[in-house]
Structures are given as C-alpha cells and as structure tokens.
Structure 1
C-alpha cells in the first residue's frame, strides 16, 4: 500500500440487507449472510493502488448486518473548489479506466466522492460500493445519486437480490454509465450551480428520461437552469467534451478508455506519467529498477519529520487499532451510530380493524454516506517517545554496538513478555513491522536475517509474507499459477465441494462465497499440478492458513502450500499412504516413550495408540484440531523447524493432558480426544522447542521422509540444542559409517524406544577421539551409556564411561527391568538420557527394552530415564 503522507483515515458505515432465518440453500445449509458476502468481495479492493483512487484499508462486521469500511480520506472534495474542467475530466477518467480494467464501475460518482489531496490531485472515493454490494443486490438502498445516474440506470429501476418478485435481475451498469455521471459533474462545474437539486425526485427523473428526445442535451440543460450564456462562452473543446459525455443512448456514448484518447486531452495528457503497477515481492522483474536518489541527499534527512506519515496506510490503521482505536465508538461519537431502546425498534403491525401500531421503516438502515475522519492523536501520543532510528533500523550486526535509546531499552524487556501481550503492544509492533518490512524488501538476500528475527516472533500484519520467505518461495509465482488449468472438471471436484463448507467456517473471510471460490481454485491447482498425489480429506485444512493470510494472492497461497507439504508431509497424499502414515505414527510413539516413558507405558497398556487420535494431527499439521488464531502461533515456530518438529508438538500436547490421561482408561481417553480440551498454545510451543532441542537428530529418522536435498546444508537456522542450531533434517546430512540405517516397518514397530546413530551418541556424550567427556557443573556426564552385553564381551572392549548391565541378568522376558545388584547403579543416573549399547542385531534377534521410570527413595520429584534401543 502507498504511504499515508497527508491523507487521513476515514470510516463510513451501512447495513447489509437481512435474510430470512427459516430459509436454507440448495445444499441444506443456512444462507450466507449478505454482510459476509460483502466482506468477502471487499478484500480485492484493498489491492487496488492507483494515484486516482482512494486506498481501501479494512472492513469490519458488527451487529445486525452492520458494516464499517475504512479507507483513505481527504477533507477537501471537488464540491469545495473550482478547477479547470479538462483537468478534472482527465484525472477522473484515469481512475475510471483503471477500474474498468478490473471489471468494475463506480456508479456513485458525485462531487463529494471526488476528493483532493494537498497537491490538488483528484482521488475517487467509495468507488467499490457498487461492486462489494453485488450491484446493490445485498443492500436495501440504491447505489448512486439520482441527479448523477445515467438514464439507462434510472430506466431499470431499483433491484434487490432477495426480492422474490424480481424474476430477472437488471443488467449491471457498464463503464458508460460513469461517463454520464462525469458529464453532469463537469456541467455543474462549468455552470457554477447544481443541476435538478431543487426539484422533486419524481419530476427530476422524468426530466432526465425526456432528454432522450433532445439532440443537444447540453443546450437543453443550460436553458432549463438559466445558464445558457455561461455554457456558450466555454471553449469549443470543453463543449464538445460535455456533449460526448451527455449522450443519451449508451451505444453512442464513449467509454473512459475511448474518451481518454480523445484529441481534447492532447494538451494535458503529456503532463501525466502513465501509471505503473508496483512490482510484487515474488516476480521475475527487478523490484529496485525504478529507484532513484534525490539530487540533494539532505532531503532524506529532514529534521522533525513525521515518520509515521511515511508508513503504509494499512500499517498506520493496524497501529491505530492497537493504540485503542474503536470504529463503532468513533461513529457513535459523531452521531452516525445511534442506539435505540428495544421497544422503539418493534416492527409495525396492523390490527383487524386496520389500526396500525409500531414504528415505520427505520431510516438508520438506509445509506448515510457521511465519512468520519479517524483521529490519529492517540496513536501519535503513544508513539511520541519512539525515536526516528526505529523507523530506519540497521540490518547488519554493527547495530549491536550502537548506543540504545530509552525506548529501545524498554522494548528489549517487552521481548520477554508473553506473545499475546507483545502482539498488542503498539510500540513493539511498530518496531517489528518496520524491521520485517525492510527485511522482506531485501528478500531473498536477507533470508538468513528473516529466519533469525522470526525466531523472536512474527508480526501478525506481515505473517503471510514472512511465512513465504521462511518456506523459500521465489520466482514468478503468478505466471506459474495462471498456467495451471483450474477450470476443467476433474473427479476430485465433488469431494472438494463437500469439504470446503466444513473447513474453518467460523471465520467470516473463509466462509464467504469469495472464500469458497478461492479455496476451490487453490486446492484444484494443487491437485492438478501434482498428478502423482491425490486429494485426501484434510488438504482443505492445510490450505486454510495460507489462504487466509494471502486471501488476495491465490498464487502465493498455492506456492506456500506446495512448499509446505513436501517439507512436513512428504508422500502423505499418495493414493496408498498407509506405509508412510504407519512409519510416522510409530516414530511418534517412540518419541513419547523417549520423552515420557511413564505416559507411554500407560497408553500402551490400555491400548490407546496414536493411530486412534494422531492421524488428524499430522495429516493436517494440527489445523483440523485448532482454530486459526492458534495455528498462526504454532506454525510461526513450526516453519523454523525441520520435518521432525511436529513430533515434538504432539508430545507437548500429550504432556498438557498428562494427568488426565494417566488417570483414565481407554474409553475415557477416547472421549477426551473426541472433544479436545483447551490447549495452551504458547506453552505448547515452548515445550516443543525444548523437546526438539534435546532430541537426537537420528531418533526421528524416517525411511519415507523427503529425500536429501542437493543444496549444501548450512547452520544458523532452526532450534537445535542450546548454542547449536540445525537447519536440515537428518536425511539431509552426509551419510557415513556411523549413520543410522533404515529399518523395516515391522522391526520399527517391534521397538518401543527410538534408535540413534553412533554419530549422535558421540555428539551427546561430547566425546573426543581420546575418550574424554565434557561434564556438567555437578561433575557428572549428561548421558550414560548402558552396555547390555555379557561381562566377557564388555571386558574385551567398550565405550569409555559406559556401565555394564548384562541383559540376561537385568531384564525379564518381556523387557522389564528387574532387581539385581547391577540395577542399583542406574539410580545414580536419574534424569539422564540412557543409551543402550549391544551387539549388532539381525531382524530375528530383535528384542525390546521397556521404558522405565526410576524412583529414588525420599525424592520429592520423579525424573524420567529414557532408554535407546540397540545401535
């Protein structure tokens, strides 16, 4: 969006028409409220950035189908000033032509909707009202002003989409209807008076319709209003322009594009630069090709500059809301919204004798086109202590050596606060938005810095673009998306149609008809472009977060989804995915055993296996079980980890439900997961990071994971253990003799705890080739290696520091630890990672060690000891 600069934020409100409550659609579901339909159509208007159009910012839905629209606004309009007719016409036509290219018309063109900025440039306001209301069909008032409506519009009469008496809807207004409105507007400017404003509406409309019998409409209008001499004194080219605009028959009236090319504008067209659409972040063109430094560099360093006005309009509005801005409160203070006691809103009814009681039609439900200016004083006061350096942050490491202002020191303490508080802190969000904006502008060259700052948090306003950067989206994604056939029917269409109305429909945006259309197109594009995969239920849930964040950019939503699935759900959408799912669930079961042996033993004992509850978790990456606002916080962290991170999320969820699971049996657990209790997502994220940091890379190795990448593996990203960060999956690491070998699924299922590789054992023990080991502050090693070979084999050669505990004497037939002189040694290693070492095994020699919990007498806390099976 363009910077705010001298513009203001304006808000106006109107009501969508109400639908009957006892009527359902053809699919048996309740009808979508008109306000949600309007909200869905409105979203595309936010993408229209043109010098002759006021920027739309946001729309909010209130009670009783009330809608409040926020847009760029100026106090001055064309009705306050007199300007040269040709200049006004040319600038208005530029805006109308841009709208027509996008299939829209204004229909509400009038002097009060032609605003002027401080430089005198014209901008069209409320240009999207006709489009967002479905040509006026979703509201109870006509779109446009009778004095400026074209004759063909008046002849069609009013129309309401829900009116059963209207068998056929009137034809939509075309671009030529705006030309008539422009002609009336220019005529008023030249004549110096308003047309037909002192005549009754019925007489006014009759007069306009009678103009069809006249040859020279301009002369007739001038005679009717007593300004014939004024009109005759106009330049010939201006009169000719008026006559071309005020042609009664639409077939002979020019379009905005045709009129712009008329010779009447030859003198002034050269004064205007052609509009160039801003380049997208993901395109094949150079984004910085048009940038130029000013002749005087000092112009970039003005003192006492209003830094906030240089931020984008949507950023300013977002910060205004965080600073306490309330749209309905602003409109109420201006008298636009007036509350009435319930008794005064009772409908009118008739008695048998014809006597009527109650209220007439409430005029407040009709359109009040008053635009209220939103005051930014509260926001500016909130940001008064934020220094100018916050608006222009340094991106390199040298910034750490610079002195910090008081405000930056205050923000450093904000980072430690819970995420929900940080997302509502105005100053903090300003600094984060500005920082990410600059980083994303430099993407992909600053990808590492995007990753680094995303580990702190991601501002909600830029989450969509930040996710795309984390997923490595590059290139001309729009051209690729447009090249996919999304219209030809395919067998999957029926299932997509059934799934969409059930996917996150509590959200107003995704439940709108426009949301359903975009859902369908993105899902179909993915299915068509991946012929080796199939559509499984749950794919719609995976698509929902990306579509919500990129509602006006289907190509980016598709690109993110296409990059996300191979990374975290590789081959999950094969026609036969049973082997992939089973391996995934088995590894997850082993992760539970590693991090929480007691819970794992209980769940296995009652038969509550992951197959019964975890498939929807991983098939949809938790989007099927959590609402979108929780998914955003969860995926902010998920995208920083590798494909094994979802295992840690699953274990963290189970640990929040641990007490209830341990206290219940099979039936109670089934009921518990059929309606999952409230999960603290922030706690889940923190626990997941801890679990991920202390999970050996090879413990989550999967044979059916994504194949190794051909690019070099770099460090510095992801989580990893404290002080060490890992970017890639274990599969991406170079293979050595110490790497873990794949296991058959039957072997994998036979083992309760995960295996690790020899290189991970060395990493965990932090052993050198000389055999020395790093120790904790207490002087004890962080892990203990338990060698279960016989004493004779152990004496022949063993790992330095390992403990010999022969399997035959320490473990029972079912793998449980039994009491023997050697088992007492393990009590001194409470809370450590236990690595079990034995001979290399064949599949026939597979044995299992049951995860155990060791208790120490008189200890107030129990510490879990999690064994690894054989290397």
Structure 2
C-alpha cells in the first residue's frame, strides 16, 4: 500500500444483483449472493499498486446487496480540462495520454481491463499526474454479470462493446454471455477522452442515447473518424490546428476495427511519445517481505520504544499507508454508510422507480481522522493503555497508530529484528499487521512464492473430493472465506499441503481446512504465505497428528492433557474420571484443529496471538483454562449432561482464557508435558525461538539431553499415572540447588515448590534434597497400597498450592495419586526417583545431634 501523502479517501456504492431465494446450486446449498462474489473478487485489487492507479483500500457489504468501496481519491479530474478556457496544450495532452496508457498497461499485465474510462474516473493529483479510478469495477463484478447496470459510459464505450449489447445472466433472451472486453476497448475510450480535451467540449452529450449509439456504430463506414467527429461537433478548425503527432495518436486510438487498433502496451512504444517517455522512470514493484530479493529499509527506532511518535510537529498520518489511515479512521468512529447518508448518496427512502446506476461520493477522511485522534497530554497515557484489556487497546486510535508504526518498522527489518518482533508480540499484535506478525513468529523466511508455485496444485488426487466437501462447511459465516474466490484459495492451499506432505494424510473432522482458515483469512491475497505459515504451524503444534495411523500420537497427547487437568485442578479431574468423561470424548477436535473447530475466527485471532508465542505444550494449558471456565457446570453434572454441554459449547471468555493459560503455563514445569512423539529437537539457530527461548517459547524437547533429563515412558505406563513426571534437572532448577540453595519464591514470599521424600526415615537421613520434607510411604500406605495415615495429617496441608514433587526409590505413584484424590493441586513425581540425583552431589545429610 502507498502512503497517504496528499491523497484523500473516497467511497462509492452500488448494488449487486439479487438472486432468487428458492434456488440452490448443484451441491444442494443455497446460491452464493452476488455481493459475496464481488467481495471475494475485490480482494486482489488491494494488491494492485501503481503510480497511475488509485489504490483500492476496502469493501463492505450492507443490506439488500449494497456494496461500498473505499479507494484513494483526488479532488481534480480530467473534466477540468474539458472547458474551452482550460484547454490543455498539445504537450499536456500527450502527457495525459502517456500516463493513462501507463496505468492501462499495468492493469493489462495483471489481467485487468478498465472498461469504465470517463473524465470523472481519470483523476489528477496535486502535481497534475494521472490517477485512474474505478479501474477494478469491471473485474469485481465479473465483467458486469453480477450487477444490473452496464459497466462504462455509452459515450466512451468502444464500438465492439456497444455492438454486443447489454447482458445479464437471468435474461432468457440471451443464450450465452458475450466475451469480456479486451485491452483495446480502453484505447478507444482514451481516444474519445483525448479528443474532448483537444476540442474543449464533451462529445455526444446533447443527443438521445439511442441516436448516440447509432452514430458510434456508423463510424465504421468512415475512413477518418477524427474528422467526422470534429465536423459533427463543430470543432473541425480546432482539430486541424493540432500537431500532427496528436492527430496521429487520436487516429490510432479511434481505429474502428479492434483488430487494427493498438493495445496500450503498443501505443506506449509509439514514436509520438519519444519526447515524453524519457522523463518517466519505469515502475518497480516493491520487494516483498518474504522473497529471495535483497531488501533495505530506512529503519529508525528510538532507544526507548515508548518514545516512538513523540514529535508533535510530525505528520505521521501522511506517511502511513492508505489502508492504515482508513483503519484508524474506522477506529476513530468513521462509518461509511453514515458518511454516504450525510452526503445524500444513500437514501433511507429511495424512489421506487429508478434507472439502474451507481452513485459516487468521496468521504474526505484525512481531516476527519486527524480531528478524531485523541490528543495525548502525557506520555504516561500510552504506557497506561498497555494495562487496559486487549479489546479496548485494539479500539484505541492513538495506541494502534503507534503500535502499527512500530511493527511496520520491525517487520521491514525482519528477520534481523525477529527477537524484537517476538518481544513486542508479547504485549499485543495490531490487527492490521497480524498476518505478517504471525509469519515472523513462525520463523517464515526465504522465497516462499517460488516454493509454492513449484507445487502441483492442478493434477487430480484422491483427496480432492474430501476437500470439496469440507470447504463449504468451514467458517462459512465469514463473507470472505465463503466467497467463490475464498473456496478457490482454500482448495489450492490445502491441496498444496497434501501434495507436499505425502507421508501425512488429509484427516477427517475438517481438521486441515479449519487450521488453514485463520492463515488464509489473514493472507487472502498471498496464498504462498498462508501455505508457508500453515506448514510451519502444523509441525510445531501437531507433529505427526496427521499420520495414517496416529492413534499412538493422539493417545499420548490426551494422556498428558489428562495429567495436566489433574495437576492444575484435581477436584475437577476426580469428578470427570468418576463419571467417565475422559478427554477422548471432547478434546480431540480441540487439539486436532488447535481450537479453530470450536471458536469463531475473531476469538481464534486473540487465542493464537498468544499460542504462537508458546511452545507445543501451551495448548494443554488452553484446554485446562477452557475447562476451568466451565468448572461449576461440570462439577454439578453427570456424564450425559457433560456430553450435551460440549455438543454446544457455551460462550468462552477468550481474554480470560488467554490470561489463565499463561498463568497455568508458568506454574507447569517444562518437563511435565514431555511427549516422546513431539517434534524432534531443533538445531539452535533454526528459527527465532531457538535464540529467544525465554518466557514460554522453548520446548522441553529442544533442550540438550543429559543424564538428568526425563526418560520416555510407554503409553501403558504413562496412562497408569495420574500425575505427571518432571525431570531431575527441572527439580534442580525449581529449587535453585545449583545456584544458592535457596528456593524459588512466588510473590507472597513462600517457596513455589516443595519436595516430598517418601522414602523411609533411614534412607532420608542418608541423603536428601535440601529443604525437602520426609513423609515415609510405609507409614502412609499399607502392603496393599491402602491408606494407613492421611498425608495431610503429616503437615502437608500447609504446603497446598505449591508444586509438590514426590521423590521415591521406585516411583510409587500411589502416593501422588492419593494426593490428587485429596484434591492437592500441582502434584508431580520425580522421574527416575532419588537415583537420578545421587550422582549430582546435591544430596545433603542432617547434621549429627550433639
């Protein structure tokens, strides 16, 4: 997107054709509304950037198939030259012609034809340069098939366009649609515009429209159309005085037969422009973030990022991209329909009988934006904004402006600033840059477009049928993803993943399409980036979940999740186990889709903003946080009621879920969620997370393995244990035994962890962890593991709430299981028992009594 500079934001509105309500498509589903089709086709127009084209910004869909399009706008247009007193010079005419042709040629390279050229759609910026407006109307409406009005102005339409007549799919008198207009039709329209500039008057404006069309069609019999037009409008003397170069250009543009008429690209090479073309630099498309091309960016960041945007004399808005300004205008209270209503473009009670047409208005939002921005009197206000709820921060105009500027600079310096991207993402991610920010968090690098284009997405494969069935059921409440263009992109990205991962399978439960949906939504115009993000996301969080036989992976995952429930909420765990409501019955769709099958997209965005910062075990904490929000209802109900509850999951507070997930994660020892079927360790430096392994980004699997590391367990043994195991190195780290001998303490000043040694008193006195307490197993449990004395009676009750690590000789899990049954939270076993610690030299013996 270009920066705003001296441009304004304009809006125009029109109606799509309405479809009958009682008609279904070949798949048995209701027909997609034409407004949805237009909305989907529009998206690619936002990526068409050229100095001669007005930048498209956004489209919104209203009631009764109304569409409102927002685009770059300028006050002046070609009409200012169509008055005798403002007639341009021959050089100015050539300049305008050259700049219009530049825009048309670039459009043609991108498969677009204007078809709506007219004086009001050729705008002029403050420097007098051409900016073509509404160049995407013909494309977004499927060459006019999705609207009830013709695209283009009859006075400027090429003869071959007029000869085709109007067409609408519902018209029974037409068997097939006419061929779409080609680039040469715009050359004729340009010829009429240039003729009017030279003549100083509008053509064909004062005669009946049918007579006007007949006149244009009869021009095919004329040898010199320019002379005939001049005679018809009484400006022959003016036209004859034109330089030969201009006359020759007019004749080439107004060539009746399309086969003999040049294209915009051919006209640009015409010798008539030799004296002009040397003053123009060929347009270079900006280098994209993820490519093999070298990039350089002017990046300035203050030492203290909180000092960003403190210069009150700087006009930050004019430097920002047009889409950013529009986003901020909306945050500041901008309402498109209200603006158009105030301009009397949208009428609350329109007349019953109207001609099919579309109207235009231009909302001058630059001044609106500046006046709507809250003016901060203190730098502390923005610092205080960080502590506000996320939903409020995302609606704070000034806060979002600064966050957008910051992320824009960091992403331009990606991957070299990936550490800072990760750091700032911990605060929050501006919605406008979420797609690129996620790509940075996932460590996407390299020429992703070339890799994506190298995947065969066209050859039929057995999975095609299942993909076709799944797509119409995936987040179809969203207008973008439900559009035909959305379905096409869904199909291509999913098929690219299936083809490039032959060892994995497209699994049931709409897993892959649900996983794809957030990435496709955020990168709708960049399929390669959506595919790259999805391909990086799945190995990190769903490693081997899509194997043909994934039962061992899923069962291990669900068992660890069950242990996490017992670790954080033993009372709830006991109840769910008693009624037989195990994770297999409700949690598989959660984890196979990383909750995208459960929550709508707007909640997934906030959830994944945090998930992408976490490691592969973070989803366990999200799952526990969801259960805790439903805790009261789960504890009060039996098996059948719980099944019904999860069949239609109640509303979940995502902000609370994220907040509690982080807290749960911080209380969970890293090794407690160890899975032997998780992604293998990554080489340090493979991505940003290997270098910035702080907070909750690093995986236990990524850490170097030592004699103190946790050992793999068979699935049978893992399922036999209620509480998780932690490694000896985790215990040492939590107790800080290798540092100072003092225990880690929480905010209350109490130690966060307590080691409970359940060996006999004699063994305990021969060597134990400093600070551990001794509750012998043989005095607590009998020969048949029956409870003889409650552990809480031994003083353990005072340690409730801390992480309780049970240490023994032979991993007697009955002790930990009993603590869980007594609703002691955060209970775990030391993997390998005391024997793992003996070689460390960290065991102590009590001082002899004197």
Q: TM-score, normalised by structure 2?
A: 0.92
Quick one: distance in 1 between partners of 2:297 and 2:598?
45
What's the offset of the Cα at 1:85? 1.8
- Is 1:184 matched with 2:154? no
Residue pair 2:10, 2:363 contacting (<8 A) in 1 also: yes
Residue pair 1:851, 1:866 contacting (<8 A) in 2 also: no
- Is 1:114 matched with 2:75? no
What's the offset of the Cα at 1:328? 0.5
- CA deviations 1:540-563 (Å, max 9, x no partner) are 000000000000011110111111
Quick one: distance in 1 between partners of 2:330 and 2:739?
60
Residue pair 1:527, 1:535 contacting (<8 A) in 2 also: yes
CA RMSD in angstroms comes to 2.4
What's the offset of the Cα at 1:847? 5.4
Quick one: distance in 1 between partners of 2:692 and 2:576?
29
Counterpart for residue 751 of structure 1: 721
Counterpart for residue 327 of structure 1: 336
Counterpart for residue 397 of structure 1: none
Residue pair 1:854, 1:865 contacting (<8 A) in 2 also: no
Q: 1:714 to 1:494 in 2, by over 3 A?
A: closer
Quick one: distance in 1 between partners of 2:468 and 2:206?
54
Q: 1:772 to 1:38 in 2, by over 3 A?
A: closer
Counterpart for residue 317 of structure 2: 308
1:280 maps to which of 288, 291, 304: 288
What's the offset of the Cα at 1:782? 2.7
Residue pair 2:332, 2:373 contacting (<8 A) in 1 also: no
What's the offset of the Cα at 1:831? 1.7
Residue pair 1:330, 1:374 contacting (<8 A) in 2 also: no
Q: 1:865 to 1:550 in 2, by over 3 A?
A: closer
What's the offset of the Cα at 1:376? 3.1
Quick one: distance in 1 between partners of 2:747 and 2:77?
73
What's the offset of the Cα at 1:498? 0.4
Quick one: distance in 1 between partners of 2:145 and 2:386?
48
Q: 1:624 to 1:435 in 2, by over 3 A?
A: same
- Which SS does the other structure have where 1:316 is aligned? helix
- Which SS does the other structure have where 1:571 is aligned? coil
What's the offset of the Cα at 1:228? 1.3
- Is 1:627 matched with 2:594? no
Q: 1:371 to 1:816 in 2, by over 3 A?
A: farther
Counterpart for residue 3 of structure 2: 3
Quick one: distance in 1 between partners of 2:712 and 2:410?
40
- Which SS does the other structure have where 1:686 is aligned? helix
What's the offset of the Cα at 1:824? 2.9
- CA deviations 1:305-336 (Å, max 9, x no partner) are 53311111001100000111010011001110
- Is 1:763 matched with 2:733? yes
Counterpart for residue 247 of structure 2: 239
Counterpart for residue 547 of structure 1: 520
**How many pairs are equivalent?**
814
Counterpart for residue 852 of structure 1: 819
Show the 5 A alignment for 1:469-868.
Answer: 469-536=440-507, 537-711=510-684, 725-768=695-738, 772-773=742-743, 781-811=751-781, 819-820=789-790, 823-840=793-810, 849-850=816-817, 852=819, 864=825, 866-868=827-829
Residue pair 2:685, 2:691 contacting (<8 A) in 1 also: no
Residue pair 1:457, 1:636 contacting (<8 A) in 2 also: yes
- Which SS does the other structure have where 2:57 is aligned? strand
What's the offset of the Cα at 1:776? 6.2
Counterpart for residue 382 of structure 1: 372
1:445 maps to which of 416, 432, 437: 416
What's the offset of the Cα at 1:408? 2.4
Residue pair 1:180, 1:245 contacting (<8 A) in 2 also: yes
- Is 1:40 matched with 2:40? yes
Residue pair 1:833, 1:865 contacting (<8 A) in 2 also: yes
- Which SS does the other structure have where 2:806 is aligned? strand
- CA deviations 1:268-312 (Å, max 9, x no partner) are 1111100000110111112228999xxxxxxxx999453311111
Q: 1:659 to 1:174 in 2, by over 3 A?
A: same
Quick one: distance in 2 between partners of 1:302 and 1:799?
57
Q: 1:554 to 1:820 in 2, by over 3 A?
A: closer
* Consecutive aligned runs of 4 or more in structure 1 exceeding 4 Å deviation: 289-292, 301-305, 712-720, 769-772, 774-780, 812-818, 845-848
Quick one: distance in 2 between partners of 1:818 and 1:485?
67
- Is 1:12 matched with 2:20? no
Quick one: distance in 1 between partners of 2:490 and 2:687?
35
Quick one: distance in 2 between partners of 1:797 and 1:832?
23
Show the 5 A alignment for 1:132-147.
Answer: 132-147=140-155
Quick one: distance in 1 between partners of 2:57 and 2:549?
46
- CA deviations 1:802-845 (Å, max 9, x no partner) are 2222324324688675535874321221222211111145xxx8
Residue pair 2:16, 2:65 contacting (<8 A) in 1 also: yes
- Which SS does the other structure have where 1:252 is aligned? coil
- Which SS does the other structure have where 2:179 is aligned? coil
What's the offset of the Cα at 1:725? 2.5
Quick one: distance in 2 between partners of 1:235 and 1:775?
89
2:384 maps to which of 399, 413, 417: 413
- Which SS does the other structure have where 1:93 is aligned? helix
Query: Please, which runs of 5 or more residues in structure 1 have no aligned partner?
Result: 293-300, 346-358, 387-405, 856-861
What's the offset of the Cα at 1:496? 0.5
Counterpart for residue 350 of structure 1: none
Residue pair 2:725, 2:828 contacting (<8 A) in 1 also: no
Residue pair 2:374, 2:398 contacting (<8 A) in 1 also: no
Quick one: distance in 2 between partners of 1:43 and 1:130?
14
- Which SS does the other structure have where 1:370 is aligned? strand
Quick one: distance in 2 between partners of 1:828 and 1:636?
38
- Is 1:370 matched with 2:378? no
Q: 1:776 to 1:135 in 2, by over 3 A?
A: closer
- Which SS does the other structure have where 1:510 is aligned? helix
Q: 1:864 to 1:814 in 2, by over 3 A?
A: farther
- CA deviations 1:118-140 (Å, max 9, x no partner) are 00000100000000000000001
Residue pair 2:297, 2:413 contacting (<8 A) in 1 also: no
Show the 5 A alignment for 1:56-135.
Answer: 56-81=56-81, 82-83=87-88, 84-135=92-143
Q: 1:204 to 1:614 in 2, by over 3 A?
A: same
Residue pair 1:788, 1:838 contacting (<8 A) in 2 also: yes
Quick one: distance in 2 between partners of 1:367 and 1:515?
28
- Which SS does the other structure have where 1:70 is aligned? strand
Residue pair 1:594, 1:851 contacting (<8 A) in 2 also: no
Q: 1:770 to 1:78 in 2, by over 3 A?
A: closer
